[in-house]
Amino acid sequence: MSHETGAQEPKPHRHAVAVVAAAATTTIVAAGVTVTSMRVAAADTDRACSLAVAQSTATMTTARASIVGAGTALVRVRGVVLPNEHRTTRAYADRPGADATPAGRSAMDQPGAAALPARPSGVVLIATVVRDRKALSAARPSTTCGSRDDAAAIDRRTMRTARSTWVLDRACTTLADDFAAFQDEERSRFAEEQPRPRAN
């Protein structure tokens, strides 16, 4: 009885098969992790952009209100008629400034009048509001955002706009307070100029 003596092909070793299977599994898992990470990163970017754009829009809404308020304040200080009194005052823009005044002392060396800070002139206070209003008017809302770097840049611009809004509001408050003081001084001047009744 004869036997075939041809060479037999070697069978794949089970360990090699396991290694190949493990490598394939690792590749699939890694690909899945990469896709998931990309989706998470994209979602984070979308959130960052949405927040940045929303904050920019809200800040610009506040800024526009301040710009309108500043315009109203500038119109108001041009008025030369005292409210409810129909008396014509001097122009507020001609109101001079005042140097700082140290605290006064009485004859008994007791504290007298309180110290007063320096006060800018009316024209300087008006010019300050005009300047700050013009600077804020150059701000624009940010509506385009495609990356976290874009979101960070929008946040920085928003902070600058918020700061400029605060500066303008402060200048308007200073102007309004000084204009009110000016009107009070004009009322006092009118009262002093009234002829006093003659004594019988």
Write down the pTM of the prediction.
0.72
Is residue 93 within 8 A of residue 152, CB to CB? The reply is no
Gap between the Cα atoms of 54 and 86, Å rounded: 47
Q: Is residue 31 part of a domain?
A: no
Domain that holds residue 161: 51-97+119-193
pLDDT in tens, 146-163: 999 999 999 999 999 999
pLDDT in tens, 11-56: 555 555 555 455 555 555 555 556 566 665 677 899 999 999 999 9
Q: Is it the case that residue 90 has pLDDT exceeding 60? A: yes
pLDDT in tens, 167-180: 999 999 999 999 99
Is residue 61 within 8 A of residue 137, CB to CB? The reply is no
| Residues with Cβ within 8 Å of residue 76, at least 6 apart in sequence | 176, 179
- Look at the chain and report how many structural domains it folds into: 1
What pLDDT, on the 0 to 100 scale, is given for residue 115?
78
Mean pLDDT score, 74-83: 92
Q: Is residue 132 part of a domain?
A: yes
User: What are the C-alpha distances in Å from 192 to residues 50, 94, 195, 197, 200?
Assistant: 62, 20, 8, 12, 21
Is residue 97 within 8 A of residue 121, CB to CB? The reply is yes
Q: Is residue 175 part of a domain?
A: yes
Q: Is residue 127 part of a domain?
A: yes
